[in-house]
Amino acid sequence: MTHIHSPPPLRPPLSVPAPEGAGPGRGPRPRSFLPWVALVALLLLPSDGTARQSPPPPEEGVECPAPCTGPLPCRLCTLKLQLYREWMEVVDMGVDRFPLPDALVRRLAPHFPLLDLAVVEVGMTRKQVADGLTDCTRVYLADPITVEKLRTGVLPSGPILELFLHELVHVEQCRLMGGRDAYALHWFRDLGLGTLGLLRRGGGWTELHAAMPMEAEAAARAAVLVQEVERGDQGAAP
């Protein structure tokens, strides 16, 4: 869901530097509570870090959302969904989102045959310790110049294009998983498993990011896609 460029320390930072290229006077990014989300995800995992093999008995008086009929107890599953929704509300607050322009939808559609790119919205925010973050069909980027390029139908190149394609892979993952709630639960599972690996092996947020299966898949796909997209652009040039 995120693509981390400059990883913070494991403890919650008091302030986080602006992304590379940010001009003076823009100030630090707001304090992030992603480390606390990671801690909660870890605590809510079963003790061995794996899913239970059979669902627990129903909990009296608790109405479970549809995605919470799996191995997690209903209350824990519902809490994870609540944490995800509240975090994304904070991220989205005040963001001017816009649909992906038709020109970019047509240009990228051959590379995402399973995804309706017309549903994708893009916005700029620095309310996360990352260069990019995806909430199902909403892609948030930290660099205002990149966001403005996309708004006008201009696709970036190089590492910035790879970052954007990485986030679009997350949009595709959400669609294939069955929607936002299923995607959120999958992300929490991956985050918790990545955190367990981090505690066992040591390292920082870059290692945690790489250890999450959803992120590893998005990174691998984006590395291939960026070459395909740029080769296609070169072939179309007069």
Q: Is 66 helix (H, G, I), strand (E, B) or coil?
A: helix
Is residue 175 in some structural domain? Answer: yes
Pair 181, 150: CB distance under 8 Å = no
Q: Which residues contact 24 (CB under 8 A, 6 or more apart)?
A: none
Is residue 108 in some structural domain? Answer: yes
Is residue 59 in some structural domain? Answer: no
Q: Give the model's pLDDT for residue 202.
A: 58
Is residue 18 in some structural domain? Answer: no
Nearest Cα to Cα of residue 124 among 95, 157, 90, 163: 95
Domain span at 175: 31-46+69-232
Q: Which residues contact 113 (CB under 8 A, 6 or more apart)?
A: none
Is residue 22 in some structural domain? Answer: no
CA 137 – CA 144 distance, rounded (Å): 19
Pair 120, 103: CB distance under 8 Å = no
Q: Per-residue pLDDT for the chain (238 aa), expressed as one digit of tens each?
A: 655 444 333 333 333 333 333 333 333 344 444 444 544 444 444 433 344 434 444 445 557 777 776 666 788 888 888 889 998 999 999 999 999 999 999 999 999 999 999 999 999 988 765 789 999 999 999 999 999 999 999 999 999 999 999 999 999 999 999 999 999 988 888 876 656 555 555 556 566 666 788 988 999 999 999 999 998 765 554 4
Q: Give the model's pLDDT for residue 56.
A: 45
CB atoms within 10 A of CB 103: 12
Q: Give the model's pLDDT for residue 213.
A: 86
Q: Give the model's pLDDT for residue 1.
A: 64
Q: Give the model's pLDDT for residue 201.
A: 58
Main-chain dihedrals φ then ψ at residue 54, nearest 5 degrees: -135, 145
Q: Give the model's pLDDT for residue 207.
A: 65
Is residue 5 in some structural domain? Answer: no
Structure tokens, 11: 């403890």
Pair 127, 141: CB distance under 8 Å = no
Q: Give the model's pLDDT for residue 176.
A: 94
- Count the domains in the chain: 1
Is residue 41 in some structural domain? Answer: yes
Is residue 20 in some structural domain? Answer: no
Name the pairing type of β-strands 121-124 and 132-135: unpaired
H helices within 93-212, ranges in order? Answer: 102-108, 144-151, 158-177, 180-201, 205-211
Q: Is 63 left (phi over 0), alpha (psi -120 to 50) or beta?
A: beta
Pair 128, 145: CB distance under 8 Å = no
